[in-house]
Structure 1
Amino acid sequence: MTAAVESHGSRSRRIGALAWPLLVGQLAVIANGVIDTAMTSRFSSADLAALAVGASIYVSSFVGLSGVLQAVSPIIGQLYGARKYGEIGYEIKQSIWLALFLCVAGFVLLLFPQPLLALAHASPETAEKVTLYLRILALALPATLGFRIYGSLNTALSRPKMVMAIQVGTLLLKIPLNMLFIFGGLGLPAMGGPGCAVATAIAAWMAVAAGLVLLKGDSFYTPFRLFGTGFVAPHWKAQKAFLKLGIPMGLSYLIEVTAYTFMALFIARIGNTAVASHQVTANFGTVLYMLPLSIANATGTLVAQALGAKHLDEARRIGHAGIRLAALASVTVGVLVWLFRGAIIRAYTPDEAVIAAAMPLFLFIAFYQLFDSVQVTTAFVLRAYKVAVVPTVIYAVALWGVGLAGGYLMGLDPLGIAPAALRGAAGFWLGNSASLGLVAIGLLWYLLRVERRAAAGA
């Protein structure tokens, strides 16, 4: 069956075949955070609060930087679709240089987090734990960015299964490492929340080492000239191409994640119970996000390959099929979350106060699944077209201007006008949900414009 006559069902199956290993791998990555939260909550509520703040800061740093490297996927995907195999190795080597440059920026934020801690009004004990947590994670940053390149390469080549295998293996390794460093053992002291960071750093370096071994040992990668071509210096033309696409992509990720980061920092002002309930809700919301994200990633990959092969109509059809598939799957998940919210929250924590505070927040993560699935899949399709600037503006206006600012006005109620039911974490979650709806509408509108422009220029 050729791309030109491929049926809607066949497109959905292609997306599903690529998405499921991405989903399993991403769930394994997110399970690291779930394990961190669950284990730390059983160590102490103070360490859980510190983890909530520290993880929010780290995720903002990592997602923003790795988002720049996400430019690797559409660039490699289009080269692969165009059968320009010999150019892929050069682009990967340039992306490694970019990762090294990005590490410098990441180190500054992770080693000196005091300005962000001041926003959270963290106690001295919490600030000390968060600072140690972030400084340990700085050691993991080069490895995590390196593995991002490995994952982006394999996704663009429609070979995500080995990425999945490494991610699952890393999760299995992290469970005993967490137990050792959080609770102590084998002569090592109990570190609490910062022990999660030690386990993460060890696992990250083992993951990137495994990826390198697989790349060198598999003959499939030989045509791409990843090895054996000698030293390649950073070239401005290639770096500029990455940055032109990667900076707005990284900013969009950063905007999305910092919306949650600042939610945690502001909610931390209310107290440990409020921020702990937010952490449980946000963590599970992140787990749910992996389903539409995997569909979005698979859809974007197939769209990029179709564009590289100059099959513009098929690229459009694949994009629309992926958006519909993600929306349908996420609505189903949202209903299930609402029905089983009590059991889900109790799986995270035995603290009755945290359970009571988290229960109403699960209404929001059940409700916004449709918006979240549509916006992320549409964003990945736009990136396959190498379009990222306007989507970033849409993210900034909606998530910061409506979501975070609106959440601040409702949650902390500085004007004294918010309804009682929306004060606290609920106000922030309502603002975030509304902003995701606006992003979904804005990105869909812009995708239709991009598709029409691409068809007219063909």
Structure 2
Amino acid sequence: MWHDVKRIAGLAWPVLIGQLAVIAFGVMDTAMVGRASAFDLASLALGGSIYITVYVGLMGVLVALSPIAAQRFGAGERESIGEEVRQAFWLAGFLAVPGVLLLSHPQFILRLSEATPELEARASAYLRILAFGLPAALLFRVYSSLSTAVAQPRIVMAIQVTGLTLKVPLNLALIYGIERLGIPSLGSTGCAIATTVINWVSCALGLALMARHAKLRDFAIFSRFCWPHWQAIRTLLKLGVPMGLSYLIEVTAYSFMAIFIARLGDVTLAGHQIAANLGALMYMLPMSIAIATATLTAQAIGSRDFQLARRIGRRGVEFAGLLGVLLATIMGLCRPWILAAYTSDPLVAAVATPLLAIVACYHVFDALQVSAVFVLRAWKVAVVPTVIYAVSLWGVGLGGGYVLGFDVDGLSPAWLHGAAGFWFANSASLAVAAFGLLLYLRWIVRVKA
């Protein structure tokens, strides 16, 4: 057992550091903008939820490269990996077109929030700037998926940490302004400019490493030019579309929660943003374990060692669940200090306090469901998990949250009115998803292994 856990941990820790660097972007934006004004924080929450919806839905399609490349790597078919990556580049370019259009014209989505015209205008400006960085973010995802698939997450981590070091001075300059240099205070808009710049820097570094790094150069990705091969792209889409839909379902469960909560006012939305940001930060640990577990499972499948694949998958789920309980306990005990780090506004803190207690509970279910779904993806299984996500996250989570939060039927208890109702229903939805995915994973392993 410990040998398997050690292998998973050895691959997971650089993934975790890299993902923490990425999520630190959001933490930093939330904390810095929160110090600027509640209005800027609300615009960040609203605009950010829409951007994440678009980006994650498109990015999820490209993540299909990871299990495909990992299985080929495990089977020793290294020559074919370069061609898979070249086709993934074409797919990233095709996906960027609708993504840029949606971010450049977000008005029809923003109207769902029923936000004030001022808040809608600020969020719209935020999204239009991020549209320029979306193609770079998608190209970098191809590089990240390849590196993870061949068990080289450290080179991804290096770029992500580099991006974080650039984010600090850029945020300071653009959010608060530097009067002596003539840089105005831009608030949430400054966050968007900083993120776009870093997306292109990360993309350039990723492409350079693909061409020059010793561990990736062997795949000869840039050895020749090729046009789109529709059969290869169709293979990516066959796995990637349901994966992208599952990512989209997962993120829209949160983004539409933010849109609905925006109806309750800037202070409530700001409190929700703190809870969402902390939940996303905690999610990085089980997700890193899940990515590492999926990589090792897919490589074992590629080498036809199904017994090892089954064992690695089981250990990964157990490891993620155990650490989930530990992290939830620590977070629950440290709520006052965590809130103090996020905001100095007593009204925002009052909204966020009960939400953090719910986040601590739902994290355990989050750890179990993400580890299970990544192991299923390693087996190239994605359709049924998407259905499970739709029923649980949209039906139980978003639908139930709307009923509880807005007291639609008049039966919701007072403590579940407002943002707390949405978060409570979201926790229940993750419990349903975890139960369904674990049962389905058990069946898939029996059938395929």
> Please, what TM-score do these two structures have when normalized by structure 2?
0.98
- Residue 26 of structure 1 corresponds to which residue in structure 2? 19
Give yes or no for the alignment of 1:110 onto 2:103.
Answer: yes
Q: Distance in 2 between matches of 1:338 and 1:405?
A: 26
- Residue 313 of structure 1 corresponds to which residue in structure 2? 307
How far apart are residue 222 of structure 1 and its match? Answer: 3.2
Give yes or no for the alignment of 1:357 onto 2:351.
Answer: yes
1:222 to 203, 209, 217: 217
How far apart are residue 335 of structure 1 and its match? Answer: 0.3
How far apart are residue 357 of structure 1 and its match? Answer: 0.9
Stretch deviating more after TM superposition (411-420 or 134-143): 411-420
- Residue 5 of structure 1 corresponds to which residue in structure 2? none
- Residue 253 of structure 2 corresponds to which residue in structure 1? 259
How far apart are residue 171 of structure 1 and its match? Answer: 0.4
1:431-446 pair list within 5 angstroms: 431-446=425-440
Alpha carbons 2:211, 2:220 under 8 Å: kept: no
Q: RMSD of aligned C-alpha atoms?
A: 0.8
SS of 1:387's partner is coil
- Residue 324 of structure 2 corresponds to which residue in structure 1? 330
Question: Structure 1 counterpart of 2:384, which letter?
Answer: V
Q: Distance in 1 between matches of 2:140 and 2:85?
A: 12
User: How many residue pairs were aligned?
Assistant: 447
Q: Distance in 2 between matches of 1:105 and 1:291?
A: 31
SS of 1:234's partner is coil
1:108-257 pair list within 5 angstroms: 108-185=101-178, 186-228=181-223, 230-257=224-251
Q: Distance in 2 between matches of 1:110 and 1:215?
A: 29
Question: Structure 1 counterpart of 2:8, which letter?
Answer: I
> Please, what TM-score do these two structures have when normalized by structure 1?
0.97
1:62 to 31, 55, 58: 55
SS of 1:273's partner is helix
1:397 to 391, 400, 403: 391
How far apart are residue 219 of structure 1 and its match? Answer: 2.8
List 4+ stretches of structure 1 deviating above 3 A. Answer: none
Q: Distance in 2 between matches of 1:115 and 1:31?
A: 30
Give yes or no for the alignment of 1:449 onto 2:443.
Answer: yes
Q: Distance in 1 between matches of 2:446 and 2:227?
A: 39
Structure 2: gaps of 5 or more residues = none
Q: Distance in 2 between matches of 1:389 and 1:214?
A: 33
- Residue 3 of structure 1 corresponds to which residue in structure 2? none
Q: Distance in 1 between matches of 2:364 and 2:405?
A: 23
Aligned identity (percent) is 54
Q: Distance in 1 between matches of 2:245 and 2:290?
A: 18
The C-alpha deviation readout for 1:298-319, integer Å capped at 9, x for no partner, is 0000000000000011100000
Q: Distance in 1 between matches of 2:141 and 2:216?
A: 17
Q: Distance in 2 between matches of 1:276 and 1:198?
A: 21
SS of 1:224's partner is coil
How far apart are residue 218 of structure 1 and its match? Answer: 2.0
Q: Distance in 2 between matches of 1:30 and 1:419?
A: 34
Question: Structure 1 counterpart of 2:363, which letter?
Answer: Q
1:77 to 70, 85, 95: 70
The C-alpha deviation readout for 1:59-78, integer Å capped at 9, x for no partner, is 11111110111101000000
Structure 1: gaps of 5 or more residues = 1-7
How far apart are residue 408 of structure 1 and its match? Answer: 0.3
Alpha carbons 2:249, 2:393 under 8 Å: kept: yes
- Residue 409 of structure 2 corresponds to which residue in structure 1? 415
Question: Structure 2 counterpart of 1:362, which letter?
Answer: L
- Residue 400 of structure 2 corresponds to which residue in structure 1? 406
Q: Distance in 2 between matches of 1:108 and 1:403?
A: 29
- Residue 342 of structure 2 corresponds to which residue in structure 1? 348
How far apart are residue 206 of structure 1 and its match? Answer: 0.7
How far apart are residue 344 of structure 1 and its match? Answer: 0.4
Stretch deviating more after TM superposition (415-424 or 242-251): 415-424
Q: Distance in 2 between matches of 1:388 and 1:23?
A: 24
The C-alpha deviation readout for 1:34-66, integer Å capped at 9, x for no partner, is 110111111111111000000000011111110
Question: Structure 2 counterpart of 1:446, which letter?
Answer: Y
